[in-house]
Structure 1
């Protein structure tokens, strides 16, 4: 079926006319009811869905009459594929039928934008589960992440989806927060670089990427989900916002607000954030969509709106364009406010202009639009699995090794609650754990090998669970100890069970009160260590945990985070030596006693000092990761000693592989600013590049860094580039610096803004 213009004068359907003119023409024809309908979503099947959003069953009412709800049109369809297990071919036909209903039931026949979650790949039954975002960060490889996102986007586009609710750009601030697993890491430059690559990949497939959560969500007090945020303007400007700036420059066309309030102002009702900052300063012209039920939260949870109408007015005024996931405040309450003169129709038109412009960009208003997808598409094809494997292998981090790895010719005791569980490889936004958990009688739909299965293919193995992720008995631990004694090496696979709203130890709404391993897992670890045999710890988790009490007794430690459906094969490859580990930590592992953890981005007084008895030094620092075959660093230098405040400096690093096996290094560049107007981090990442070296190969990395990379928010509240001395620390982690290069910024102090240079340019010869 195609939509055709019903009268010759329907200029808004002309695909050759300017977008703005088409939008104005259509808006002039629409009634208030038809306008508001384009700002709403409908979640079909919400009545049968398990809890997938906060307060879902309190705020959401299942649509009773679809035709009535769409009589004036509808803006968005929520999670047609991602609400329940639906075979791809069935989902494609269902979506096409639903779109036809939307088109035929309203006067203008405007199709809906269809959105889905895609944080670990498309959240649909039988779709590939890719590694979770912490694993993206651990790759330090934006090109690889871009290719992954392009593949995800291609699958989404082929089945009729238009918008993906990813990536998450929240910078990790407190490891106890349950959504740490959804972050890319604790450094804004790394988060921005990797997220921008994901955006570029998704958008290259024609899918609208959605940046979330704008802004400050991850800085909640005590790491509690939705808890108030109390950060200052410089932390917001220099830590929280830069990843969003970078991703907007990469072409993101949508932004989703944060649930949290900062200093008492919820993001969903903050015009300074959503309009002044996002629209006027950043020049963003896309759509702002509400995080699920966040408009209603203004009334029910934040207490800044008197009722649903007031909540809708506040959200529209702030700059939210579309209410998701389903009709609530932007429905009858908003219409009543317009009729009574309490809501300005100009607010509706402003949001509608953005919504319709995006629909035109997507081709939904063109005469030839047809709501038909590819019913034969394989959502877990060989290419997807190959990319998932590549990302997983590139993300595994070897944290320590006394020489026991790689394993060869040894009998293994594989122990632990994560060893024989397919779900151990997946984050909370993967379809099996996000949706499939509510349908226990439905098969997973994809093959996800366990670590036990992957290791059994290479080694003689005995197995004992030892304990579940939480709970367990003394007898189970005793059995694990006896099993360990039957082998040469014990491989303990510990970590988290991802879930939602208390159904896991990691994930949305699954915050931690401390950073001890969940349940009795540390007790199990101690019991196996007590045998005196070599113990290799494999950690599959959504956050780093405190391993300081055992680290010096462990033979090796490997971090896999949530490495996706190919993660077990990647881990087995690293343990066996087929894969040389090249992942680097996107987030620090806490040291002893870190009950209130911070990140490496701290000023001098946030480091170890004589004025506090608490040592915040991490056990494994940001950027850390070992290799079986490390490259040799031969030269680090710069020809410049002066660095113009409006110019560039160049740093070169010469690496040589003196071994007979290929290797990979991650060259990391950090800025140290010894004197500034405000207290600055001792060291912050300004660039990193992954370098592959064949046996015997020498490669030269040249980094061109613009002085804008030294900018920070000064006492005036504006971002500035100072004159004076700085240092570039070049090394293999934030704590392992090979060379400190001293330079002097010369010229005039400059103020810079959104158009500043935010990344170095790398050349590898």
Structure 2
């Protein structure tokens, strides 16, 4: 190590690291040479100025209270510099203007204390929008999946990034790339769905949008988190290495290689006995050596400490810190704990200084790339003038909500009209509680609710009020009855709901989730469930209203799919809205009225039973139904990809450009789709691949391409998928990813179980090993509508 001396400077006297005209690498090297061991370690730590426990109830992170008494003061934490400032905006109710000044104050202290004046990176949560008071709350990630529109997700992320950048935030802890494997897991709402390709396409576009705004995106949770035993949060993960490679890791590889993401966050859960926070094979060999990741790895909150306290693979905090850093961790969040002793560990020979330098170089690179070391750096430029819930944001939030609502069933009762239903009973808890539209990582449910606030912090119109607005000036009237609450066992309100239904021409029954954290909600982090029954006494409410004989439109506002097999066949229509955000009330009302032609498709299946099923469509033959093998039928009530609208479409002529291709060739699959109705609408064209015979067991089918297209009445489109042979690749018996010669089946249609078109092609030649190459990860799509051609906003 080189001891500090006179800092190298330019002819003007400016230190090299402060000169934006110099190459980033040169600036980083010059600054790194000047840092002491303690200053190096300081760049890898963080601090969370959390609210007093008496001000807030519950925690925003797992086991937060367990770490409340042992943390140091902010002054002590920044004595040798600081890597990250944790959630200056998102920890308590604070206005945008006050948040900017709060962050400026913290940065002034960091810079003033740092011998070389190095600011900290400010990070925040941003999955459903910037998680701060008054910011737009977009639909939950599971609703992005339902929209099947990557470009729309990218636009949303760019707006989120613009808002965060304007107030001085540099890094967002989003998106979530976990693939749903068990619907009982509380964090299903934070995922994009159960298919790795859908997850990868949409989250990669989120990464692009956020980083186009100048805010670093962070992939969560690397890796295996959603495959925990029994769907329990933080439970062990027992999947095999093949499922890890071919399902769990696929979206991460896409976001790293295609999205060029700047940060990755580890998963809490241990995978086959190895915690990711201390796994060099995952954090270094795979992520960096194989995929070429160049950003920083940041720990999930207290994950490094958990190596000692929860996983028991470290003897003490220092050992945990050394193991994690050596594995490839760069920054400890949300506070410096185990990394506090890194300098001493180097001096005592327990840690190589080169490993410390490796992480520091990555952090300094990002700080310089973000402009933090440039002269005149200001942590906030917009101040109180920024509008975090602008009209443009709200328009986009409404469009996303409208495109994500899924119409599962309709016997003709929808859309509602004054001729068919003048008296409508609107029944159920989610009709009047707009918090049900928001995910657990919304500011409303994540922070505001812990401060005893009953409001939402932003303007949100309930479903019943939105319906009243939607039909204003007409003859239709609406009467609301709560019936039951989300989890309250009191059923005394069911009688009023039944009376309202009996007097109505139609009943709109709204049931679902109210998100929270660690058991405070029916959905969200730490809110896992034993089965897929509707929460609380809501199923009893549905049964009571159905018993009246009044036609029922069942509306689900949920973060996960729930079993509907007990009453689906008695409902006139079923609408699924996956936590549609602040404009969700208007979106649901628009679908019911017909103003919105629903185009959402299921990113997860809807189960028939409350249990006894594998959960997702991505399963081999033995995971499906086989008569005489088991008395349990795992087939879903509504499959992945399903959804209908007020338009109808026909599928014709799946045409392949070739019947044979080489192991590195491409086959084009063209599908003709026609709007056969009298109303313009959108269709999600889906392409699935099957591998009938392979050296390992393969899924019955897997999504390999999709495109959301808009067609006028009578209009046709030719949708051409360019499928490279790499898209057939899988991890073989030798644990190498290969393209194996043989026959493959392509099917196209509107859902994973409705695939009217089929054709086959053969991959010829020897087995192709693609383990060490940057293989093709996407299926590009071209859409030719009428006489004009355009590139689809899909993959």
Q: TM-score range by the shorter chain?
A: over 0.9
1:151 Cα deviation from its structure 2 partner = 0.5
1:446 Cα deviation from its structure 2 partner = 1.1
CA contact (8 A) 1:664 1:690 kept: yes
Are 1:327 and 2:339 an aligned pair?
A: no
- For the residue of structure 2 that corresponds to 1:743, the secondary structure is strand
Encode CA deviations 1:667-719: one digit per residue, 9 max, x unaligned.
00000000001000000000111000123322211111111111011001111
Alpha-carbon distance in structure 1 between the residues aligned to 2:110 and 2:703: 49
The corresponding residue for 2:13 is 8
The corresponding residue for 1:147 is 155
Alpha-carbon distance in structure 2 between the residues aligned to 1:184 and 1:510: 18
Encode CA deviations 1:67-119: one digit per residue, 9 max, x unaligned.
33322211000001000011101111221222122111111111110000000
Are the structure 2 counterparts of residues 350 and 60 from structure 1 closer, same or farther at C-alpha, using a change threshold of 3 Å?
farther
Moved over 6 A (4+): 4-7
Are 1:34 and 2:42 an aligned pair?
A: no
Alpha-carbon distance in structure 1 between the residues aligned to 2:560 and 2:673: 32
The corresponding residue for 1:449 is 461
The corresponding residue for 1:284 is 293
The corresponding residue for 1:646 is 664
Instruction: State the superposition RMSD in angstroms.
Output: 1.7
- For the residue of structure 1 that corresponds to 2:492, the secondary structure is helix
Alpha-carbon distance in structure 1 between the residues aligned to 2:79 and 2:455: 38
- For the residue of structure 1 that corresponds to 2:578, the secondary structure is coil
1:279 Cα deviation from its structure 2 partner = 1.0
Alpha-carbon distance in structure 2 between the residues aligned to 1:739 and 1:661: 24
Could you tell which deviates more after superposition, 405-414 or 625-634? Answer: 625-634
Encode CA deviations 1:342-401: one digit per residue, 9 max, x unaligned.
222222111101111111111112224233320110000001001100110000000111
Encode CA deviations 1:484-517: one digit per residue, 9 max, x unaligned.
1111111110011100001011100000001111
Are 1:716 and 2:721 an aligned pair?
A: no
The partner residue of 2:312 within 300, 303, 316 is: 303
The corresponding residue for 1:755 is 774
What are structure 1's unaligned runs of at least 5 residues?
Answer: none
Alpha-carbon distance in structure 1 between the residues aligned to 2:386 and 2:375: 26
Could you tell which deviates more after superposition, 501-510 or 629-638? Answer: 629-638
Alpha-carbon distance in structure 2 between the residues aligned to 1:593 and 1:133: 23
Encode CA deviations 1:612-671: one digit per residue, 9 max, x unaligned.
111110111000001111223233222321122211111111222243321111100000
CA contact (8 A) 2:532 2:610 kept: no
CA contact (8 A) 2:25 2:365 kept: yes
- For the residue of structure 2 that corresponds to 1:68, the secondary structure is helix
Are 1:564 and 2:581 an aligned pair?
A: yes
- For the residue of structure 2 that corresponds to 1:512, the secondary structure is coil
1:593 Cα deviation from its structure 2 partner = 5.0
The partner residue of 1:553 within 565, 570, 574 is: 570
Alpha-carbon distance in structure 2 between the residues aligned to 1:595 and 1:335: 52
The corresponding residue for 2:615 is 598
CA contact (8 A) 2:43 2:360 kept: yes
Could you tell which deviates more after superposition, 251-260 or 693-702? Answer: 693-702
Are the structure 2 counterparts of residues 475 and 593 from structure 1 closer, same or farther at C-alpha, using a change threshold of 3 Å?
closer
CA contact (8 A) 2:435 2:456 kept: no
1:246 Cα deviation from its structure 2 partner = 0.6
- For the residue of structure 1 that corresponds to 2:39, the secondary structure is helix
The corresponding residue for 1:239 is 247
Alpha-carbon distance in structure 2 between the residues aligned to 1:743 and 1:65: 65
The partner residue of 1:90 within 77, 98, 108 is: 98
- For the residue of structure 1 that corresponds to 2:99, the secondary structure is helix
CA contact (8 A) 1:45 1:62 kept: no
The partner residue of 1:633 within 638, 651, 654 is: 651
Normalized against structure 2, the TM-score is what? 0.94
Could you tell which deviates more after superposition, 80-89 or 21-30? Answer: 21-30
1:15 Cα deviation from its structure 2 partner = 1.8
The aligned length equals 762
Are 1:423 and 2:423 an aligned pair?
A: no
Alpha-carbon distance in structure 2 between the residues aligned to 1:400 and 1:153: 37
1:46 Cα deviation from its structure 2 partner = 4.3
1:40 Cα deviation from its structure 2 partner = 0.5
The corresponding residue for 2:27 is 22
1:225 Cα deviation from its structure 2 partner = 0.2
Alpha-carbon distance in structure 2 between the residues aligned to 1:124 and 1:614: 46
The corresponding residue for 1:729 is 747
Alpha-carbon distance in structure 2 between the residues aligned to 1:112 and 1:289: 14
CA contact (8 A) 2:427 2:507 kept: yes
Alpha-carbon distance in structure 1 between the residues aligned to 2:683 and 2:707: 8
The corresponding residue for 2:120 is 112
The partner residue of 1:53 within 37, 61, 82 is: 61
Are 1:369 and 2:377 an aligned pair?
A: yes
Are 1:587 and 2:599 an aligned pair?
A: no
Alpha-carbon distance in structure 2 between the residues aligned to 1:270 and 1:634: 49
Alpha-carbon distance in structure 1 between the residues aligned to 2:438 and 2:646: 26
The corresponding residue for 2:682 is 664
1:9 Cα deviation from its structure 2 partner = 7.0
Alpha-carbon distance in structure 2 between the residues aligned to 1:157 and 1:299: 36
The corresponding residue for 2:790 is none
CA contact (8 A) 2:653 2:757 kept: no
Counterparts of 1:466-545 in structure 2, within 5 Å, are: 466-545=483-562
The corresponding residue for 1:699 is 717
What are structure 2's unaligned runs of at least 5 residues?
Answer: 1-7, 785-795
Counterparts of 1:128-167 in structure 2, within 5 Å, are: 128-167=136-175
1:415 Cα deviation from its structure 2 partner = 0.5
Encode CA deviations 1:452-474: one digit per residue, 9 max, x unaligned.
11112224101111111113334
Counterparts of 1:387-466 in structure 2, within 5 Å, are: 387-409=396-418, 410=421, 411-441=423-453, 443-457=455-469, 458=471, 459-466=476-483
Alpha-carbon distance in structure 1 between the residues aligned to 2:346 and 2:578: 49
- For the residue of structure 1 that corresponds to 2:498, the secondary structure is helix
